[in-house]
Amino acid sequence: MQIRTQERDEAFQTTQVLKGDLEVSQLKGSELNKQITQLQNELAEVHKKLEEVKRDRDNNHHVILNHHQGKIKELEKERNELLRKHQTLTTLYEENSQQLTRLKRKFKNEEAFNKVLETKFLNACLKIDLLTEKLKEGREKNYKLEQEIEKMVNEFEIKIFSLKTTSTKEKL
């Protein structure tokens, strides 16, 4: 009974840890969504800047060409960095979503397992109660049998004593 209680406590603790992990994963997912939104805004801003550069280049093509080529390279580098960050964040988001799904599934399994353990525990308690009652009945029966045996032994002793006394009297 103590082992089953310990198993139930361990399962409960595992469930609590999984709940904590689930909350952490949900917070991380929310944070990643914010970062993705920010990166998308930054990406839109980069696209705006690129459009400005193209207009300026068309208006003053020869004068500004060299200057803006450097700027374009810088912006492209920034855009590539943002795309790389976006890809990284998207990958992390997908991994966290998958982990969250796994944790939810594991949590449901643990809950089901806890319910099974609780049912088994309750059934075991009922069986223990039944066995305790049977043991009590057995003890009472044994006590009654011991009393009967003791009574019979006493009666036999009295008969033996009586027979010895009669036998001794007959010898005299």
**What tens digit of pLDDT does each residue of 25-77 get?**
888 888 988 988 998 898 889 899 988 878 766 776 666 567 778 888 999 99
Greatest CA separation found in the chain?
Answer: 158
Please write the tens of the pLDDT for every residue from 80-89.
999 999 999 9
Tell me if 104 is assigned to some domain. Answer: yes
Would residue 69 count as lying in a domain? yes
The Cα 38–Cα 34 span in angstroms is 6
CA atoms of 117 and 123, how far apart (whole Å): 10
Q: Is residue 172 part of a domain?
A: no
pLDDT at residue 120 greater than cutoff 80: yes
pTM exceeds 0.85 for this model:
no
Say if 34 falls within a structural domain: yes
Provide the residue range defining the domain that includes 12: 2-129
Residue 124 belongs to some domain of the structure: yes
pLDDT of residue 85: 95
Number of domains in the chain: 1
Q: What is the average per-residue pLDDT within 121-139? A: 94
pLDDT at 163: 83
Confidence band for 16, pLDDT divided at 50, 70 and 90:
confident
Domain membership of residue 155 (yes or no) is no
pLDDT for residue 171 is more than 80: no
Instruction: Give the DSSP H or E segment for 120.
Output: helix 61-171
Tell whether 141 is covered by a domain.
no
Q: CATH code at 31? A: 1.10.287
**Can you list the pairs that 90-99 forms with residues at least 24 positions away whose Cβ atoms lie under 8 Å?**
90/36, 92/32, 93/29, 93/32, 93/33, 93/36, 96/25, 96/28, 96/29, 96/32, 97/29, 99/25
Q: Is residue 41 part of a domain?
A: yes
CA–CA distance, 102 with 96 (Å, rounded to integer): 10
